[in-house]
Structure 1
Amino acid sequence: MPDSTLKNRIDAAQSANLALRERRNDRWYPQFHIAAPAGWINDPNGLCFYQGRYHAYFQHHPHSSQWGPMHWGHVSSVDLVTWTREPIALAPSLEEDRDGVFSGSAVEGDDGRLYAFYTGHRWRNGINEDEGNIQVQCMAVSSDGVTFEKHGVVVEGPADLLHFRDPKVWRTEGTWWMVFGACSARNRGEVWLYRSENLTDWVFDRILYRDPDEDSFMLECPDFFPLGDHWVLLICPMGRTPRGYTGRNGHHAGYVVGEWTPGGDFSPLTEYRHLDWGHNFYAPQTFEAPDGRRILFAWMGAFDRELPTQADEWAGQLTVPRVLSLDSRLRLRNRPVAEIALLGKDSRAFGTFTASEGVRDVVAGIDTAEIDLVLDLHATTAERAGLSIGRTSDGAEAAFVAYDDQMGRVVLDRRASVTADRGIRSAPARATEDGTLALRVLVDRGSVEVFLNEGEESISSFAFPGAGERRVALMVESGEAAVKELTIRPMSGHWG
């Protein structure tokens, strides 16, 4: 179809989204996380730095707060924290993407234009996925990062594959590479690798990775990038069985670290590990910033349950941007980018003290905050000690973030949440050499992100507080907590 068709589809989507925005309820709408003006969003797409600005595109259904035919929403920024809303970038307009412009990535070509790669999606029966998908990899090109021209299919999918999507493109040693997720003819999750010399003509290279877990039938949203002397493969396995603390969500995101040389096989050096332990963390994607940092965004949302915000005419947000690094144990650390400090207001420090058993209000009337809590585990006798977040006058709390000494883990407990979306998630915790455990907690109106010891582990979850004044309290159970530091900084909004 001509470009006028794409423009008309985008204009219609913009108008529908504007009308939906008028009905949005802001009780849990984020102040410093990326979300659409209204409607549904999921995976981050096309993350890049282009023409002096950071660009974050995302899966978006602009017509309602339910999942539907996917478009690419778009925001941009000069500093990673103050964002400008851009027009919707892509909408279904071709036969190959008639049922959705699915996830993908973007790179700057040698001609200075931005090349976006995405999965064109169709239902085989024209209605739903009962008979499977028809999925191909498509390309669109832009000279400004805002308006795109579609160039159609660049990689056809094998006819017998039911899942074949989410292209991530990068360049190494002068060659362009593309990975995407696939479900093999034997119903196993795989990552396929293609290569190109010109971004247009792609040839199959090899199956880069096959999930050893036989329950895993698809590896969504793969990403593959170097960190130091190693390569990291991000994958989102579908179908894994819950075991212990792992696999508790309907959708999972993790990583494998290994070695790879262009033209060779990927040799894993680690097992699959969780990247984040929370209820709502999926589809992470990374890009390299101009200063060399590897920066990640992920989606906070859910496919397997109704979100309370859907009644408010919006659903889904992105995590804060995070910097990735590998430690000496080949564990992937993730922590908020330094630019997050630009959003902080005047901080309040409470010093060093010992807290006895019970609940101690720390601050009231606060919707958004960055909280630093450092516990001396050698001197702490409590079975659980941490922060009651979004606490209202009736004692209900959106989340309890605490170190649990019996579990040896940090828990994010939503048992007192006012919504039906409850449950507990936890991450393994260990004291540093000086015996301390540092928790950095980012609280938005309806979400909590917890980072342990400079990003050794993280827990990201929605947590919806009740009506009324929201408080943060220190809660200690069965003993005393030795607090070395407690600092709270309110956070400002982020739209420029």
Structure 2
Amino acid sequence: MTDLALSSSLVSASMHPDPAFPRFHPRPAQGWINDPNGVSYINGRYHVFFQYNPLSARHSQIQWGHVSSPDLVRWEEHPVALVPQVGGPDSAGCWTGVVTLDDGVPTACYSGVQDHGGHSQVVIARGSADLVSWEQDGHVAASMPEDPMVTAVRDPFIFLFGGARYAMQGAGLADGRAALLLYSVSYMNSWEYKGIWLTTAHPVAAEHTPAEIWECPQLVEVPSASGGSAWVMMFSLWLSGDDHEHANGVGHLIGSLSADPETGLPVFEPSSGGKSDFGRDFYAPQIVQLAYGSADVDDPDPDAAAAEPAALLWGWANEGPGRDGRRGRTQEEIDDAGWSGVLTHPRVLSVADGALVVTPAPEVEAYRGASVAAGSAGSVVVPGFAEVLVRGGAGADPGAGARSVELVLGLGADSQVVYSGTVAPGEELRIFIDASLVEVYRSGSVATTLRAYPAPGEGWQLTLPTGATADVWELTLPA
């Protein structure tokens, strides 16, 4: 095992030939990564798997990489977990899926594809107690439904409701609608297909989550600021022609989950929705349900059944050719760097006033190091690895309302505005800069995920509106 808090942060990042390589978002030093997979909390550790090609910075020969942590701060890299099996149902890739406990055994359920033009199937693999060793015997738990309307299926997700285990997969239909398929999972080795569960024909879904295929579907219960909880369903919004651009991004629906009075099956009824991230460089998030405040949906504390549910999200920030006026990277530059893709900080989900609220997991405050600015106004120089807390002030004109904050990379004619957004009186922005990854969290709202690539000698600068102030800390790894 490799301690990523040492290898990718202090050693690999500081010595990496690419200054854009992140230090505080653990990932292997080389290779392609995309979707977070198998996010779980088992036997006292958080596990994050991810789509991985260790051989190049391109999207091919997809396997499952694996990191784990006891505290969301200190991470260890483990050997590759899942690899395509020659002649098996996953011979063309081990694609997106989840990890859960099945009778106490760590079990991966993922999309396996036999050929690059074929349909996916749900493939099962069993893991060791520490989730480091995996047995792949090619068992298929669910194949494509025998429904001519269903033309694409992918990305299984498992959830619990009413004491029973269910699963869903994202899908595309012959008439152009995106859809969810529902399964009953009484036995992990054999999923029972229950039919098309939800589609973009629903008016709330049509408004907030338009797509041709709902990829990476998620369904979790999160606390509500008004008391109780709400169910959040999240999708990555795939359109034909997407090539890691994903212009529709990620959307979510907020609603209720109840049992059908005739069948007993869960029924999701959305009431609102929206974008799950406002950045153009965010896709394919995965959420882990942390039940009863015990951080383990598979082994909840029976004495804490009345406590709030919780959920943590990780997303994928891809490399890009430049968007919204930001300078990007060419494929040749990505190949030369030898790596591609970053996972975001873990994010906490909740609902307030019918809207999704996303905040960084409190554990990431452990990276907060020396203070470099406190209560600063006007123009503030920001280190290349930093956390910034911006507080909106009343300003010179109380009637002016919100004003813009700008995060700028570089100076003069070659500078670029990486982030620009308003900050209202009493509002806060938390901004994290990790080399080429920028995450902006607005109080009471969702995050904005962006990529930007410092050229040699370039620095960051924050411009604040009148009345706003900023505290800035340099990021460092805890001892």
1:37 correspondence with 2:19: no
Q: Report the counterpart of residue 271 of structure 2 in structure 1.
A: 269
Structure 1 residue 61: Cα displacement: 1.2
Change over 3 Å in CA distance of 1:304–1:196 after alignment to 2:
farther
Tell me if structure 2 keeps the 8 A contact 1:176–1:199: no
| Contact kept in structure 2, 1:296 and 1:321, CA below 8 Å | yes
- For the 8 Å contact 1:192–1:206, the answer to whether it is kept is yes
The alpha carbon displacement at 1:445 in A equals 0.2
Residue number in structure 1 paired with 2:213: 218
In 1: Cα distance, 2:335 partner to 2:354 partner: 39
Amino acid of the structure 1 residue aligned with 2:28:
A
Is 1:492–2:479 an aligned residue pair?
Answer: no
* Aligned residues of 1:447 and 1:463 also touching (Cα < 8 A): yes
Q: Which amino acid aligns with 2:276?
A: L
Equivalent residue pairs, number? 418
Q: Distance in 2 between matches of 1:382 and 1:391?
A: 29
* 2:305 equivalent to 1:288: no
Deviation at 1:194, TM superposition (A): 0.4
Counterpart residue type for residue 267 of structure 2? D
Residue 132 (structure 2) pairs with residue 102 (structure 1): no
How far apart are the structure 2 equivalents of 1:249 and 1:38? 24
Query: Are the structure 2 counterparts of residues 265 and 287 from structure 1 closer, same or farther at C-alpha, using a change threshold of 3 Å?
Result: same
Equivalent of residue 155 in structure 1, options 126, 139, 142: 142
Q: Is the 8 A contact 1:377 1:437 kept in 2?
A: no
The amino acid that maps onto 1:237 is L
| Aligned partners of 2:214 and 2:238 also within 8 Å | yes
- Using the alignment, how far apart are the partners of 2:396 and 2:452 within structure 1? 30
Instruction: Give, as a single letter, the amino acid of the residue that structure 1 aligns with 2:440.
Output: V
Aligned-residue offset at 1:472: 2.5
**Cα contact 1:105–1:116 (8 A) shared by 2:** yes
1:288 and 1:38 map into 2 onto residues whose CA distance is 30
CA contact (8 A) 2:106 2:127 kept: yes
Give the distance between the partners of 1:187 and 1:249, measured in 2 at CA: 17
Q: Separation in 2 of the partners of 1:207 and 1:261?
A: 17
Match of 1:445 among 409, 416, 435: 435
How big is each residue's C-alpha offset from its partner over 1:138-159, in whole Å with a ceiling of 9 and x where there is no partner? 1111122011112410001136
Cα distance in structure 1, aligned partners of 2:232 and 2:407? 35
> In the alignment, what sits opposite 1:482?
467
TM superposition shift of 1:302: 5.7
1:212-271 Cα shifts (integer Å, max 9, x gaps):
3497210000001112432111111222999xxxxx95351010011112413221111x
Match of residue 299 from structure 1: 316
Residue of structure 1 equivalent to 2:349: 324
- In structure 1, the partner of 2:419 is 401
Letter in 2 for 1:391: G
Does 1 or 2 have the higher relative contact order (CA < 8 Å, sep 6+)?
1
Matches within 5 A, 1:14-413: 25-93=17-85, 94-110=87-103, 112-123=104-115, 128-129=116-117, 133-143=118-128, 144-151=130-137, 152-158=139-145, 161-212=150-201, 213=206, 216-227=211-222, 228-239=228-239, 249-262=246-259, 263-270=265-272, 272-289=273-290, 290-291=294-295, 292-301=309-318, 306=330, 308-327=333-352, 329-351=353-375, 355=378, 360=379, 362-363=380-381, 366-377=383-394, 379=396, 385-392=404-411, 394=412, 396-403=414-421, 410=422
* TM-score, normalization by structure 1: 0.77
* TM-score normalised by length of structure 2: 0.80
Structure 2 CA distance for partners of 1:323 and 1:333, relative to 1, 3 Å: same
Q: Distance in 2 between matches of 1:261 and 1:323?
A: 24
**Which structure 2 residue ranges, 5 or more long, are not aligned?**
1-11, 223-227, 260-264, 296-308, 323-329
Q: For residues 311 and 325 of structure 1, what CA distance do their matches in structure 2 show? A: 40
In 2 relative to 1, CA 182–70 (structure 1 residues): closer, same or farther, beyond 3 Å? Answer: same
1:3-22 to structure 2, matched below 5 A, reads: none
The Cα offsets for residues 306-331 of structure 1, whole Å up to 9 and x where unpaired, read as: 5653431100010100000010x221
Would you say the 8 A contact 2:36–2:343 is kept in 1?
A: yes
The one-letter amino acid of 1:64's match is S
Whether the 8 Å contact between 2:172 and 2:179 is mirrored in structure 1 is yes
CA contact (8 A) 1:168 1:223 kept: yes
What residue identity is the alignment partner of 1:278? G
Q: Secondary structure at the match of 1:376?
A: coil
Paired AA for residue 104 in structure 1: G
Q: What amino acid is aligned across from residue 390 of structure 1 in structure 2?
A: L
Counterpart position of 1:418:
none
Q: Judging changes above 3 Å, is the alpha-carbon distance between structure 1 residues 153 and 294 closer, same or farther for their aligned structure 2 residues?
A: same
**In 2 relative to 1, CA 401–304 (structure 1 residues): closer, same or farther, beyond 3 Å?**
closer
What CA RMSD, in Å, does the superposition of the two structures yield over aligned residues? 2.9
Q: 1:298 and 1:45 mapped to 2: Cα distance?
A: 10
- Name the counterpart of 2:453: 464
Q: Contact conserved, 1:255 with 1:274, CA < 8 A, in 2?
A: yes
Aligned-partner Cα distance in 2 for 1:325–1:146: 31
Secondary structure of the 1:40 match is strand
Question: How far did 1:437 drift?
Answer: 2.6
Name the CA shift for 1:241/1:229 in 2 (closer, same or farther; >3 Å): farther
Does the 8 Å contact 1:280/1:462 carry over to 2? yes
Counterpart-to-counterpart distance in 2, 1:440 and 1:458: 9
SS of 1:339's partner is helix
CA contact (8 A) 2:249 2:280 kept: no
Could you list the per-position Cα deviations for residues 420-457 of structure 1 after superposition, in whole angstroms to 9, with x for gaps in the alignment?
Answer: xxxxxxxxx7x3xxx3331110111001111112x513
CA deviations 1:95-152 (Å, max 9, x no partner) are 2111110000011122x210110000133xxxx54xxx32100111112201111241
Distance 2:174 2:458 in 1: 54
Letter of the structure 2 residue corresponding to residue 201 of structure 1: S
